[in-house]
Amino acid sequence: MRVDLSGKTALVTGSTQGIGSAIAAGLAAAGARVAINGRSETGVAKAIARLKEELPDADLVPAPGDVSDEAGAAQVVEEVPDADILVNNLGIFGAQEPLDITDDDWRRYFEVNVLAAVRLTRAYLPGMTGRGWGRIQYIASDSAIVIPAEMIHYGVSKTALLGVSRGFAKHAAGTGVTVNAVIAGPTHTGGVEDFVYELVDKDLPWDEAQREFMKKHRPQSLLQRLIEPEEIANLVVYLSSPFASATTGAAVRVDGGYVDSIVP
């Protein structure tokens, strides 16, 4: 199966590093024109330069702006007026004692993890439905279903994304636009390495630290290792393609079997 996204424009939020960067690379490798988003022009430029080393022929365009803010989202939409594929990847996470999570913390997580995606969906969905083709995805998490005690605010924000995805899928019914959530499992990124070392012995080598983290904090994983960002990207690229035309309103898992359920 060869995914061909030639002629399509994709916007991936939070795509200067981690899962977002891997998704951008996957879409670009499939032929899409990909808008790289991050908060700063410098960060976006560095990310594009790095991706160009990997994919010299990639069609990458800068789309700097903090989409968790209305003005920043408007800036991105001005840079990229139309998109055929929207991947709402931007997200923040972190461990925090449940009773220490303040109202401001809760608001920040919803602004970044939920409202940023809603804003961009409002901006791009009408154009997609008007053209009769489009793909919108929300990068959720196993934490949406298995709420972690050490970061309840993060888990609940990802639960909200599942509802947002299903609701907009209903709104787009019959238009040729599909809307899905991707439930990503524990994934190996720089930020996750820092998070792992918050919960296990900081003196452990990374391979041992990863195993210790999975054993103590994610024991239900059937993969028994962290997922690589490219493995998340593979599913996103498929869902962005014509091959996934009958998949919509779904919460599709790429979680390494972490969620103990026989249905999504």
47-63, pLDDT tens digit by residue?
999 999 999 999 999 99
- pLDDT score of 64: 98
Residue 167 forms part of a structural domain: yes
Element (H, E) at 116: helix 116-131
Would you say 169 and 178 are in contact if contact means Cβ atoms under 8 Å apart? yes
Identify the three-state secondary structure at position 170: helix
Catalytic residue, chosen from 124, 154, 197, 238, is 154
Percent of the chain with pLDDT over 70: 100
Residues 6+ apart with CB under 8 A from 88: 13, 116, 117, 120, 121, 136, 137, 138, 139, 161
Residue 21 forms part of a structural domain: yes
**Region of 41 on the Ramachandran plot (φ > 0 left; ψ -120 to 50 alpha; else beta):** alpha
Residue 215 forms part of a structural domain: no
Which residue positions in the chain have pLDDT lower than 50?
none
- pLDDT score of 27: 98
Residue 53 forms part of a structural domain: yes
Q: How many domains does the chain divide into?
A: 1
Residue 205 forms part of a structural domain: no
Residue 16 belongs to domain spanning? 9-187+227-254
Residue 194 forms part of a structural domain: no
- pLDDT score of 218: 86
Average pLDDT of the chain is 96
Residue 154 a catalytic site member: yes
Query: Is this structure's pTM higher than 0.85?
Result: yes
Residue 212 forms part of a structural domain: no
- pLDDT score of 92: 95
CATH of residue 131: 3.40.50.720
Of 111, 113, 11, the closest CA to residue 60 belongs to 11
Pinpoint the alpha helices (H) of 175-261.
190-199, 206-217, 229-239
- pLDDT score of 262: 86
Residue 217 forms part of a structural domain: no
Q: At what angle do helices 116-131 and 152-171 cross, to 10 degrees?
A: 20
